[in-house]
Amino acid sequence: MALTDTFVKQVKPIKLSGDKYADGHNMYLFVKGAGKYWRMDYQHLGKRKTLAMGVYPAVSLAKARARRAEARELLADGIDPAQAKREHKEALTIAAVHTFEAVARSWLTKTAAERADTTQIKVTGWLAKDVFPYIGAMPISTIKPRDVLSAVQKMEARGAVESAHRVKQVCGQVFRFAVATGLAERDVTADLKGALSTAVKTNYASITEPKEVASLLRSIYGYSGHPYAVAALKLSPLVFVRPGELRGAEWMEIDLDGAEWRIPGHKMKMKSDHIVPLSEQAVAILRAVHPMTGHRKYVFPSIRTDDRCMSENTVNAALRSMGYAKDVMTAHGFRAMARTILDEVLEERVDLIEHQLAHAVKDPNGRAYNRTAHLPARRVMMQRWADYLDELRSGAKPIPLRAA
């Protein structure tokens, strides 16, 4: 006779060794002491086994019967339900350990050599601030597309649309790493195509009119912020590298006596080594900052720790404090400034300018030039550029752009 809820609730143990009360199909309630346990006897591959299906009242009669039905289905397919239960428990344990944050940090460590130090810091910051608080504790194998979307939409809502797209891409890389290591079935971010607003492509704001550049330079040399920020600000127009490359500059890359800065390819956008000839003015700035940071890794270290370079916002913040809004001038805008004036005012060769900007430049046969291409000519150009900036700052009459 099948059991009833009332009987299961009220039954008391009789024998010290325990009592069994059958419910059909080899399932029974085992009552011993203060406990009531659901069990099911079965045979698999000729061996008699017992499956534990939970403890009453946490597992009700109805739930026990449902588990019995599941076990019978597994047996019908030739699967041992006890083994399936153990494997499921192991899978849950593995999933609990391999959370999104744990997998993401493992990915960050194992792929760090593929990114510049500044990019590593930026990506780590994005994940820590915008992803881990929302899905970091979730087992990566259980995360659904909507979970990732909910996190990146919070970035989108505060106006960081482009960053939201990039963070979604980073999450996709983490999921593909998880797939490769057997911790996830697929990259769920593939389902988010078109789910975010389209990022509007904009050029970095820049001042390119010589007269306005002269005013900017005078403001820079009158700026009285932190010494690291002052030095970085003064060096920005002289070397016109990307902001991340400037912030991540290391003393071991710089030869002050040889007036040369060699940036390794892993820090460059184009992944090729890059040489920056240093003008006399640039060397003077670096020599001035050397007593402060020369014993450290970075030329411009973080104010808080020697382990990181200065914040990506430092130069931009300095420009804002000087009265230059983000739609007028940016740290990245020094590149456009140099590109425009070197071409249209100083009439330097465009290929030399492009080389110095670390853009992809091809030779007549379509091959990429190496890092030392036209280096002597670039040295002359960089010194001429620095001298021109000094003239502007000192009040020499600026030559307007040809277009003007």
Q: What is the pLDDT of residue 404?
A: 44
CATH classification number, 5-81, choose in 3.20.20.140, 3.30.160.390, 1.10.275.10, 3.40.50.620: 3.30.160.390
Task: Out of 89, 144, 359, 397, pick the active-site residue.
Answer: 359
**Residue 359 three-state SS:** coil
Q: Say which of 115, 369, 371, 384 is annotated catalytic.
A: 369
Mean pLDDT of 89-111: 82
Q: What is the pLDDT of residue 281?
A: 96
135-139, 287-291, 364-368: range with highest mean pLDDT = 287-291
The overall pTM is greater than 0.75: no
Query: How many C-beta atoms surround the C-beta of residue 101 within 10 A?
Result: 19
Q: What pLDDT shows up at residue 283?
A: 96
- Contact present, 192 and 198 (Cβ < 8 Å): no
Annotation marks residue 165 as catalytic: no
Q: Which amino acid is at 374?
A: H
Span 357-383, average pLDDT = 75
pLDDT tens digits for range 38-65: 999 999 888 999 999 999 999 999 999 9
Does domain 100-192 fall under CATH 1.10.357.10? My reply is: no
Contact 306, 294 (CB under 8 A): no
What are the residue ranges spanned by the domains of the chain?
Answer: 5-81, 100-192, 210-394
Indicate which residue of 98, 234, 267, 335 is catalytic.
335
Active-site residue (options: 36, 234, 242, 339): 242
Q: What is the largest CA-CA distance in the chain?
A: 108
Catalytic residue, chosen from 332, 339, 378, 393, is 332
Residues 186 and 175: their CA atoms lie apart, in Å, by 7
176 is catalytic: no
Which three-class secondary structure state does DSSP give residue 22? strand
Candidate ranges 185-189, 309-313, 363-367; pick with highest mean pLDDT: 185-189
**Tens digits of residue pLDDT in 253-296:** 999 999 999 999 888 877 788 999 999 999 999 999 999 999 99
Amino acid at 210: P
Burial environment of residue 218 by CB neighbours within 10 A (0 to 12, 13 to 18, 19 or more): middle
Residue 396: predicted pLDDT: 65
pLDDT band at residue 237 under the 50/70/90 scheme: very high
Q: Looking at residues 315-335, what average pLDDT do you find?
A: 92
Domain at 210-394, CATH from 1.20.1080.10, 3.40.190.10, 2.60.260.20, 1.10.443.10: 1.10.443.10
**382 CB neighbour count, 10 Å cutoff:** 26
In the residue annotation, 335 being an active-site residue is answered as: yes
DSSP label at residue 265: G
Round the average pLDDT of the chain to a whole number and report it: 88
In sequence order, the 6+-apart residues with CB closer than 8 A to the CB of 11 are 19, 21, 29, 31, 36
Q: Is the pLDDT of residue 309 over 50?
A: yes
Catalytic hit among 269, 349, 379, 384: 269
Structure confidence at residue 307 as a pLDDT band (50, 70, 90): confident
369 is known as an active-site residue:
yes
Residue 188 near residue 250, CB atoms below 8 Å? no
Residue 389 confidence (pLDDT) above 90: yes
Is 359 designated active site?
Answer: yes
- Is pLDDT of 200 > 80? no
Closest of 218, 242, 206 to residue 398, by C-alpha: 218
Residue 269: active-site member: yes
- Kindly report which listed range (1-5, 9-13, 377-381) carries the lowest average pLDDT score: 1-5
Does 87 or 362 have the greater pLDDT score? 87
